[in-house]
Amino acid sequence: MSLGQAVLELPAQPDRLPEVMSFLAGFWADQALPPGDAFPFELSLEELYLNVALHGVKDGARSPHVLICLEHDGQRVQVTIEDDGKAFDPFSLQTPDLAAGIDDRPVGGLGVHLVKEMMDEVDYRFEGHRNQVRMAKALQR
């Protein structure tokens, strides 16, 4: 059962990130969700949207088209991000060596690692020529 649902469609372009974050903030306010529970969703949505925007372009083609769906069922919030960019499972990235110094770590992977740690559920599928990332987390209420 879904108490609330909202959908946003836009091209995956880094300069559109404020629109994505405003969409999440508006949903949070419309659903009267606890402000203290927003941060994991803000970080996760920013990380995964920017990954598509920065790395999802197929061989110089246009920016991928992204569909973001937010759902609230009274106990948890689910975020689904679909795009028609290059097939890529962000959750397949190797966990970065957190004990290594910052200069000794390769670039990339830390943001996705944080998403996996902060969310209760993460899932990736490639269906119908589209990447589908789903994340969910229970609200603390």
Model pTM score: 0.84
pLDDT of residue 1: 46
Tell me how far apart the alpha carbons of residues 64 and 83 are, in angstroms, rounded to a whole number. Answer: 6
According to DSSP, the residues that pair with 123 across neighbouring strands are: 134
Q: What is the pLDDT of residues 63-98, one digit of tens each?
A: 889 999 999 999 999 999 999 988 888 867 665 444
The token duo for 70 is 């937010």
Q: What DSSP designation does 96 have?
A: P
Tell me how far apart the alpha carbons of residues 83 and 43 are, in angstroms, rounded to a whole number. Answer: 19
pLDDT value at 38 more than 90? yes
- Please state, rounded to an integer, the average pLDDT across all residues of the chain: 85
Q: What is the pLDDT of residues 103-115, one digit of tens each?
A: 554 444 445 677 8
Query: Which domains occur in the chain, in start order?
Result: 4-138 (3.30.565.10)
Tell me how far apart the alpha carbons of residues 131 and 17 are, in angstroms, rounded to a whole number. Answer: 19
Tell me how far apart the alpha carbons of residues 68 and 99 are, in angstroms, rounded to a whole number. Answer: 34
Max distance between CA atoms of the chain, in angstroms, equals 47
